[in-house]
Amino acid sequence: MPSTYVRKSRREEDLEKERSGATGDQRKRIERRLDDERRDRQREESRRRSIVGSAQTERDEWIQAKRLRAGSRFNLHYPNGVTPEAAMPESIMAALREYVDFPRPGPSPNSGARVYSRTLEKGMREDEVAHALGHPSSRKVSEDGGLTLVNSTYEVRDSTISVQFANGVVVKFGLISK
């Protein structure tokens, strides 16, 4: 937070020096002028605090709005590296269970886009998607930072469904009408 401190003015410093050598009425006049200078300085500090407070409030509101637009993201940290067991969908879902509700739809027959819209959800395992949509028409596998990434395409009636998996769990999907 920026400083709201206001230095003594040259006039205030000069009045303090004058006061030390003054006596009686002259000293009282100097004290009144010093009080005026101090009040001016305090008003300026108060004005600056108000400006900083308003700016901080605006910044906090902007950050909150940005967070709402950004959506959710989780970073999983493994101090000793990612073991094959820790990279399994069940382990990842267990680690996130406190924060994410992973739905478990029952098996559905392969019945086209209707099944897609009802049962395909983030967090599903690859075998659950295959059970709901059948075998993919294409499947590309890659590695990234210890994660196994799979991009699968399913042809279902008059639609193409693209599904992206990370370590066997759906992370993104989309429907393209033909």
CATH number at residue 173: 3.30.1450.10
Among residues 22, 40, 70, which one ends one of the domains? 70
pTM: 0.39
113 falls in which pLDDT band (50, 70, 90)?
A: very low
What per-residue confidence (pLDDT) applies to 108?
Answer: 45
Identify residue 76 by its one-letter amino acid code: L
In a domain, 77, yes or no: no
118 falls in which pLDDT band (50, 70, 90)?
A: low
In a domain, 163, yes or no: yes
Share of the chain above pLDDT 90, in %: 39
In terms of domains, do 62 and 97 share one? Answer: no
In terms of domains, do 100 and 32 share one? Answer: no
In terms of domains, do 43 and 105 share one? Answer: no
In terms of domains, do 100 and 50 share one? Answer: no
In a domain, 148, yes or no: yes
Domains contained in the chain, number? 2
Which two structure tokens, joined as six digits, stand for 27? 């000293």
In terms of domains, do 93 and 35 share one? Answer: no
109 falls in which pLDDT band (50, 70, 90)?
A: very low
Decide: residue 111, CB within 10 A, 0-12 exposed, 13-18 middle, 19+ buried.
Answer: middle
Q: Which domain holds residue 60?
A: 10-70
Question: What dihedral angle (degrees, nearest 10) is formed by the CA atoms of 37, 41, 46, 51?
Answer: 130
What per-residue confidence (pLDDT) applies to 71?
Answer: 67
78-98 per-position pLDDT tens digit: 888 888 888 888 888 888 888
